[in-house]
Amino acid sequence: MSDVLVRAENVHKSFGLNQVLKGINLEVRSGEVVCLLGASGSGKSTFLRCINHLETLSNGRIWVGDRVVGYRQDGNRLFELSDKQAARQRQSIGMVFQRFNLFPHMTVLENIIEGPVLVKKEKPAEARKFASELLARVGLAGREDSYPGSSPEASSSAWQSPGRLPCDRN
């Protein structure tokens, strides 16, 4: 098995005549930390949305692990996923955008378990236990009942960083 977690080959994305992504090639390997830098409007968020198939590519391919994002592979042929299949594929791809708005009326713990409980239908008690373990792992034990922005430790960047707090058990 390859240690490449995300691979983009010749990725292009246009909105009408506006070509936003122009032949992006990228490999992210296990253990690497990658930062996308660029001016406002340069395509950073569009590229991240393409990785999660929230935007359809104009050309090129993106793989997460050994799966082509947005497609099912049968031999050498690719078949576009249905909306339901694409949503299922997205469940294993997590990302947090800069200034991602958390639910301000929900605690840190409630924000963390929202996805696993609503989308993956995990039992709330199990999701809470796992979320508490994750918070302890990143040095934020005891902050479960804090609200976003109520303290530096409870701010979105402190506890909802993909590198610090895994999105999934797998």
Segment 61-80 shows an average pLDDT of: 90
Report whether pLDDT(68) > 80: yes
Report whether pLDDT(6) > 60: yes
How far is the CA of 71 from the CAs of 46, 63, 80, 99, in angstroms?
Answer: 19, 10, 4, 30
- Residue-averaged pLDDT of the chain: 82
Structural domains in the chain plus CATH codes:
4-90 (3.40.50.300), 108-159 (no CATH)
What pLDDT shows up at residue 95? 64
User: Which of the given ranges, 18-32, 79-93, 143-157, has the highest pLDDT on average?
Assistant: 18-32
Confidence of residue 98 (pLDDT cuts 50, 70, 90): low
Count of beta carbons in the 10 Å neighbourhood of residue 111: 20
Report whether pLDDT(157) > 50: no
Out of 25-34, 59-68, 91-100, 106-115, which region has the weakest mean confidence (pLDDT)? 91-100
Segment 4-25 shows an average pLDDT of: 95
Segment 124-152 shows an average pLDDT of: 84
What pLDDT shows up at residue 160? 47
Q: Which residue has the tokens 């999105």?
A: 167
Confidence of residue 158 (pLDDT cuts 50, 70, 90): very low
